Structure 1
């Protein structure tokens, strides 16, 4: 009997012994496979067999603690009494896998889009099994960047002072258009062949760790792509959210915690589709929830990952997405996950961080360790164009935001950023005024939280979201053989690129050395004349940061900051290697920043 025609897919394709949760749900897929009776040698290890209305699926749950070998023989018996055996592998885990260290506020994260970063292997620009083909002339097309391109430029990333890499998704996205971003995935156990192979991804992880960097996967729980194989042949009718007519989410995530929200508004927010090509997953379905939990854990274990950035986290039903998160952190207690919570109100953002005092009022806990600080991002995208600080303008916007830090259970575990792949680029907003770029970077390097940089800004790349996503997701110069300018190589960077890069590199290399800006406390002072002064400190170190958002030079009288300066005598400016006498007035140029290590 040809078992290949009967069993077309097995997911997870293999598993691991010694997991904290011994229960494993295995999906077998094939034509009318549900007609089979399934046994294994140790029949007590099978704890559940689930058949659905679709005869092409059968879900078999086993207790892996009752399996004593690394290979399981699943015996399938058909109605005509014929049988066949399907082998299933349980692999050994890495030593201390469950206790892996994740990313935290000692890290600086580099966000890149692989299709737009570097084309390291031209042989995989196209693939016979995927629809969209290479077309670098098309702004929203596939440009050929891949995993090999990332590997070849890890030295560049490391030279920037980066300690962790977040790549937008790499799993297969077989949509006919705009598949390069891979948020509409068609197979979540397979790297898109135009990026490489699963083995290439594991090799990327190995190369990252060889350099003592960390690898963060962009994981999507809310939706798949319209071309996903299970959307075309769903295990259950409610695998994805269905409406009588196409219904798009209203994007009003505030309805989730709003005690006054109507049921219909909340339902459409959570169950409506993100876009017509992204079917909304019904995570409340126990089969879906378990499938997503296992898929996430499989990637962590298989590729030896250091963290997740979770796309559209709060578009999923809170009760169930919190269970998904807890399943991961139960398995990996130190594992960090940062959720994309695109809300600008700190109270609403806090609701989604683990152990939030606000969510506790509603007896809810997201279990999500980290959230993206979109409120701060919005401020960093506007304040340096505001030369006046009348009450709530200018740099006061940042002061006012940090004054609400008491809302968060863990402010050091907020992801802070000025831009990403969905926003305008800072260098566009600030018209490539490097003074304003430097102020933004100095704040990212010294404020509480985990700083994230967006690829290319460190060499002056700009882009306007209003011109379309392709404008903020341009190809990195030098990532393709025929590029006239190679910004990866310090010898071939333009003078402008060198200025941007050298500043950014020096700043974030310094950040790696200072524990006070990683985990220290913050004291800040009400801005005066559009000048913001704050301190990061622990018991052994103190850093004084001065941000002059005023176009005019300013003299800062240090007596006001005596409670933080204390017995420190001097401050060493970390970028210019200048020494400042803390008993004297500090002079600071207009639209500039000073970072002083106190001595």
Structure 2
């Protein structure tokens, strides 16, 4: 039998940990050739609460109670036949002050979603890595285009000038797939930033620069799957680390089977256990070792990089009981930490099921513990209604009214993430044929409806993209992000007139939004649309905002008497973008396909 030898440790995960955590138990993975043959001790032997060996001799999992450990740096002693083979140091780092009570993102924020590879290239020296398969090729639409962390850092002022207050980057951890690795959702190492984006230290610097500006950093976290090239997919600790099938089995993507009381068990099983795509093996989160690994990895990134929130990819593809426990493990450590789950469902009842304390989930005795969900129902509507001039019973802007009429289903409607588009959807400017009037209508609603608005990079300068041509077309390079680009849209002096028109409107709108608490956390009162004019109010005890959406192509005039319930004793409305004043006792005129936001006085 081959035996362990000196210097055999190839990996330690987590590579270090933190003292004074809420949960004192820490599971440490040691990986190396035949390492499981070793006996492991530390100075205070009672601190080791469990040693787990698996069928794979290259792994050993050691659980310690960190509260018993006296020294911040301590030693694991590895022995064979009572002889010391090697000694491995391990560190418990000090936490940041007030780390556990960190403030997260909420409805006062505006999130800017960007794809790092497509945003900006700030370092030409990291475009390729000798250890990674895919190489730089900007000529290939689905290839790696060279964007990186340094590029984001160099353009934080741009993002801030737009009025955004939080940044969500699609994943930055290593993805070693042979193609389409730029999106990094098929990760091959979840403790390491992809070298083509930068280093772990670069990511820390990004967080520091973001926080220095008073912005927030949201990490895109993936619990459901890794990539085929992940080192633990190639050499798994246990046979059931990922879900395996005799023949390749893909998820049916029918997440309604999870809450469907009539669903066949086989359909539910395939939904949860089938692979997302052939290059993304499905993680078995019900395996205790996998579950703890994912909990600790998520917490490690929060603590290490000083994160302000998570967007959790494919949240409801994981076993419901365990993904709820994973979420709770994070919020137990960080009670104010916000996580928004990607719940790609268009029905409000099914969406509500996945928000924490949902009345729908309660019917089935289920609580996801997930504070926020992505409002795909509203997104779908925002991609349709401004092309519909008919406002009959359930058409046109009435679709938005009908959606909001179901807000009672959500336990925390102000904590929904609202958006018109993202990296997986059609581009608004493509749908609306770069009609800036319709773009303005969509942005106005995002800025004033309940929830947390999310913008998608490039739309603020008029970027479009045809999803029918493939995902790469809705993930185009930001103009000016690479040397040699003919057009630099980061700079107002080199933007086109059209780009400036888009940007200036968006910036003015979302900078205004920062000032108004009523649109952050206030109540909503809305009125049935008439003649394709939709009027709603956002209000609290101190402020009232009246929003008027004219989805009709023609100019219209309407009487305000119907809205006395909210107008009350206010006499004028100050329009927030062009600083016009409207008398509330007189009829209001509004241009076709346009909006008015009035602060009432």
TM-score (norm 2): 0.99
CA drift of 1:82 comes to 3.6
Q: Which residue of 2 aligns with 1:96?
A: 98
Q: Quick one: which of 124, 127, 133 aligns to 1:125?
A: 127
For residues 87 and 106 of structure 1, the distance between their equivalents in structure 2, rounded to whole angstroms, comes to 44
Partners of 1:110 and 1:413 in 2: CA distance: 16
Distance 1:532 1:326 in 2: 40
The counterpart of 1:282, out of the listed 278, 281, 284, is 284
Instruction: Look up the match of 1:391.
Output: 393
2:368 is aligned with 1:369: no
- Aligned CA RMSD, in angstroms, stands at 1.0
- State the secondary structure of the residue aligned to 1:65: coil
Instruction: Go from structure 1 to structure 2 and tell me whether the alpha carbon gap of 1:45 and 1:529 turns closer, same or farther (over 3 Å shift).
Output: same
Partner of 1:250: 252
* Structural mapping, 1:385-464, within 5 Å: 385-464=387-466
Match of 1:307 in 2: 309
Paired residue for 1:116? 118
8 Å contact 1:172–1:193 — kept in the other structure? yes
* Correspondence for 1:78: 80
| Runs of at least 4 residues off by over 3 Å | 1-5
Aligned partner of residue 97 in structure 1, secondary structure = coil
Tell me how far 1:5 sits from its aligned partner: 4.0
Selected match of 1:171 from 151, 170, 173: 173
The alpha carbon displacement at 1:525 in A equals 0.1
CA distance in 2, matches of 1:4, 1:112: 45
Find the counterpart in structure 1 of residue 564 from structure 2: 562
What's 1:482 paired with?
484
Please give the residue correspondences for 1:197-276 in structure 2 after superposition, counting only pairs within 5 Å: 197-276=199-278
CA contact (8 A) 1:355 1:365 kept: yes
Instruction: Report the CA distance shift for 1:559/1:249 in structure 2 as closer, same or farther (over 3 A).
Output: same
- The answer to whether the 8 A contact 1:125-1:194 is kept is yes
SS in 2 for 1:321: helix
For 1:33 and 1:486, locate their aligned partners in 2 and report how far apart those are by CA, in whole Å: 54
Q: Which residue of 1 aligns with 2:507?
A: 505
Would you say how many aligned residue pairs link Structure 1 and Structure 2? 599
Cα distance in 2 for residues equivalent to 1:552 and 1:501: 25
Paired residue secondary structure (2:67): helix
Does residue 1:65 correspond to 2:64, yes or no? no
Distance 1:3 1:17, change over 3 A: farther
Q: C-alpha separation between the residues in 2 aligned to 1:521 and 1:312?
A: 30
In 1, are the aligned partners of 2:5 and 2:85 still within 8 Å (CA)?
no
Find the aligned partners of 2:165 and 2:306 in 1 and give their Cα distance: 16
Offset of residue 2 of structure 1: 10
Q: Is the 8 A contact 1:105 1:518 kept in 2?
A: yes
Tell me the alpha carbon deviations over residues 456-515 of structure 1, each in whole angstroms, 9 at most, x when there is no partner: 000000011111001000000000110010000111000000000000000000000000
Q: Distance in 1 between matches of 2:417 and 2:466?
A: 23
2:524 and 2:539 in contact (8 A); partners too:
yes
**Contact 1:35–1:79 under 8 Å retained in 2:** no
Structure 1 CA distance, aligned partners of 2:131 and 2:96?
A: 33
Unpaired stretches in structure 1, ≥5 consecutive residues: none
The SS at the match of 2:176 is coil
State the SS of the aligned residue for 2:26: strand
User: 1:222-254 deviations in whole A, cap 9, x for unaligned?
Assistant: 000000000000000000001110000000000
What is the CA–CA distance in structure 2 between the aligned matches of 1:3 and 1:457, rounded to whole Å?
Answer: 56
CA contact (8 A) 1:118 1:480 kept: yes
Which residue does 1:519 correspond to in 2? 521
Q: Which residue of 1 aligns with 2:351?
A: 349
Q: Displacement, 1:182?
A: 0.1
Residue correspondence of structure 1 range 574-589 to structure 2 within 5 A: 574-589=576-591
